[in-house]
Amino acid sequence: MRDPPRFKNVLLDLSGTLHVGDKVVSGAISAVSLLKRCGCKVLFLTNTSKTSRARLLAQLRKIGFDEECIVEQDIMTSVIAARNFLMDRNLKAYCLTEEAVMEDLTEVDGGDMSDSSRGAVLVGLAPTALRYDRMNAAFRVLVDEKVESELVAIHTSKYFRDGDGMLSLGPGPFVKALEDASGKEAHVVGKPSPTFFEAALSELGCSAGDCVMIGDDIVGDVGGANAVGISTVLVRTGKFLPKDEDNKEIKATCVMDSIVEAVDWIVGEEYDTENEETILKEMDGGEGGNEAPMSPREEKMVKEIQALRSQLKEMGGEPRELFPAEEKVGGEGESGDSKDEKDEGTGTGDKEEGGVTEATEAMEATEEASKGPETHQDEPKSKV
Ligand SMILES: [Mg+2]
């Protein structure tokens, strides 16, 4: 009988934690499956504001996350949080957002705001909308003396790592510009806003003490979750930098190399990514498990057969026909042939890599703010 998981409810960041651009973090798909098979409720939290939830899910499907891993209603985006924020206050918004995200904002889209008596300006990452004429129109909504308008930011990341590997401007500086010009302070609805995490707890129907957040962002994921009493795991993937572990103000409950170790800690399972299929079979009560080692007699037989096979090859014979039983006894000994087959894409890792080549460029530009230039997955493991 396995022990119950350390936490029954898990909040998972997407970009940088489950995938980096269009590359799946090694073992991430199996790790999410393991959480669910252990009975954990999982909610995915993302600050992505350049694409709708449905389109984000489609991109995740392309890189290998199937419906057993992630379904649409389990993804909580900051765009959906913004929509809920505006609907709760009966506000229509002038939206400085990408067209691709508008399908999540139909209920709150105020168009050009010419007919609204009370409204808001909503700002997300919007490379095609954050230009002077649109910014100026937003400014005029905010300072119009005939209406009472509020400034709402989907999030305020200053920059993010773009699909070309370079840093690009996030929505934060544009929000600052509108705050400065209008004199109005923005409501921030995405991570690390406490309301975002409180909404997540409400969605899961649990208390903060029975929930853990796993993410790569020391501020957005760890700081935000800490603020409402949720335990946290900072992973050394995505935007993580070694200096994040020395942050004086924000401390994660644990710092671990990746989502795989974090899940291992939560479910209390020795979790070896190279042997994950075996572990999953064992959890099902199946036939999994390491094969028993060969006895000395079996080892001797294999060596003798291999020697005979070599001799027959030199003589031009056909060893497979003479020793059909060899296929079963010594199959692992001939790693050269089987490796060639694996290299065609039969392994789990190959499958993930094959999937990512088809991913869209939009996936690379998932825009959670990057705090630095590089991923560090080789740091020694430690817990704090
Ligand atoms: Mg992240």
From CA 25, how far away is CA 31, in angstroms rounded?
10
pLDDT for res 113? 78
Name which residue leads in pLDDT, 362 or 101: 101
Q: Can you list the domains of the chain with their CATH numbers?
A: 9-78+192-283 (3.40.50.1000), 88-188 (3.40.50.1000)
| CA–centroid distance, residue 38 to ligand 1 (Å) | 24
| CA–centroid distance, residue 19 to ligand 1 (Å) | 9
| CA–centroid distance, residue 297 to ligand 1 (Å) | 54
| CA–centroid distance, residue 216 to ligand 1 (Å) | 5
| CA–centroid distance, residue 240 to ligand 1 (Å) | 9
Per residue in 291-306, pLDDT tens? 334 444 445 555 555 5
pLDDT for res 306? 57
Give the pLDDT band of residue 349 (cuts 50, 70, 90): very low
| CA–centroid distance, residue 215 to ligand 1 (Å) | 6
What is the pLDDT averaged over residues 341-356? 28
| CA–centroid distance, residue 102 to ligand 1 (Å) | 23
* 41-44-47 Cα angle (round to 5): 155
Helix, strand or coil for residue 367?
coil
* 32-36-37 Cα angle (round to 5): 115
pLDDT for res 381? 39
The percentage of residues in the chain with a pLDDT greater than 90, rounded to a whole number, is: 58
| CA–centroid distance, residue 16 to ligand 1 (Å) | 4
pTM for the whole structure: 0.65
Which runs of consecutive H residues, i.e. helices, occur in the chain? 28-37, 53-62, 78-88, 132-143, 172-182, 194-204, 224-227, 259-267, 276-283, 296-315, 319-322, 326-329, 335-342, 348-356, 361-364
| CA–centroid distance, residue 137 to ligand 1 (Å) | 32
| CA–centroid distance, residue 217 to ligand 1 (Å) | 6
DSSP 109: B
Where on the phi/psi map is residue 298: left (φ > 0), alpha (ψ -120 to 50), or beta? alpha
pLDDT for res 377? 36
Residue written as token pair 């984000």: 56
Name which residue leads in pLDDT, 246 or 281: 246
| CA–centroid distance, residue 177 to ligand 1 (Å) | 25
Per residue in 179-234, pLDDT tens? 999 999 999 999 999 999 999 999 999 999 999 999 999 999 999 999 999 999 99
Give the lowest-confidence range in 126-135, 144-153, 192-201, 322-331.
322-331
CA 28 → CA 18, 208, 262, distances in Å? 6, 24, 10
Per residue in 11-43, pLDDT tens? 999 999 999 888 999 999 999 999 999 999 999
| CA–centroid distance, residue 117 to ligand 1 (Å) | 37
What is the pLDDT averaged over residues 265-283? 53
Tokens of 304: 């003798």
Other Cβ atoms within 10 Å of 83 Cβ, number: 22
| CA–centroid distance, residue 49 to ligand 1 (Å) | 13
pLDDT for res 21? 82
Helix, strand or coil for residue 278?
helix
Give the pLDDT band of residue 322 (cuts 50, 70, 90): very low
Of the candidates 39, 104, 108, which has an alpha carbon nearest to the alpha carbon of residue 75?
A: 104
Per residue in 144-183, pLDDT tens? 988 889 999 999 988 876 777 778 899 999 999 999 999 9
pLDDT for res 256? 97
Residues with CB under 5 A from ligand 1 (ion): 13, 15-16, 216-217, 368
The pairing of strands 19-20 and 23-24 is: antiparallel
pLDDT for res 164? 79
| CA–centroid distance, residue 246 to ligand 1 (Å) | 19
Rounded to the nearest 5°, which phi and psi values hold at 248? -70, -30
Of the candidates 186, 190, 171, which has an alpha carbon nearest to the alpha carbon of residue 126?
A: 171
Greatest distance between any 2 Cα atoms in the chain: 97
The answer to whether the beta carbons of residues 37 and 280 sit under 8 Å apart is yes
